[in-house]
Amino acid sequence: MTSSEERAARRGVLTVGALAVLLLGLGFWQLGGTGWIYAKAGVAQALLERAWATRLADGRTLRPWPGAEAHPVARLRVPTLDVDLLVLTGTSEHTLALGPGHIEGTVAPGEAGHSILTGHRDTHFGFLEDLERGTLLWVQRADGIWRRFRVTGRDVFDSRKAQLAPGSGWPVLSLVADWPAEKAGATTPWRYVVTAEAVTEVALRD
């Protein structure tokens, strides 16, 4: 790459970063409340795309923006519902405001074993109730490999009394959200869970 191309590339990165800061600032100033939550979630997913592309290209873990506490670890798609989301590390409130999170201590999404993802039903996981038995989900791992899952069950449980089973060696995916959808300032111990199992043992490379 020539010096002029390098300068152009650096300008491109700076432009994207400046645009992100501007969009986040305008969203906070103009929208507020629930509107701000949706705006932040949308902008965050766009910036996370860049970090995920880097991870797939050369394996580097890239912070999507300065000071970000989470980074993408998987991609979740539901083609029939037009769902395409990047899954983040951790489940803090800040993380879940930006995208669904992977629960620490469970296997990485798409790997053998039980992986648990969580999100809010008033934003990213609002589609969970539309997942019927038999619906196909696709999960892309950090190595670029895709694994296909089929929904096998749906349930509501009390998080104070129940725990999700650890699962066996077969790839299992659980998508968990609050129930009913939480409103600002409200909390609930009830959780809605959709369980899906890998269709085949063989995963597909992108």
Q: What is the pTM of this model?
A: 0.74
Instruction: Name every residue whose Cβ is closer than 8 Å to that of residue 76 and which is 6 or more positions away in sequence.
Output: 83, 84, 85, 86, 87, 100, 109, 117, 137, 138, 139
Return the pLDDT at 158: 83
In three-state secondary structure terms, 184 is: coil
The Cα 90–Cα 103 span in angstroms is: 6
Q: pLDDT value at position 144?
A: 92
Structure confidence by residue, pLDDT tens digits, 106-140: 999 999 999 999 998 888 999 999 999 999 999 99
pLDDT by residue (tens digit) across 84-109?
999 999 988 888 888 899 999 899 99
CA neighbor of 116 nearest in space, from 131, 105, 130: 105
**What per-residue confidence (pLDDT) applies to 122?**
83
Q: What is the CATH number of domain 3-205?
A: 2.40.260.10
Regions in the chain scoring below 70 on pLDDT: 1-42, 45, 162-167, 181-186, 201-206
Provide the terminal-to-terminal Cα distance of the chain, rounded to the nearest Å.
28
| pLDDT of amino acid 85 | 94
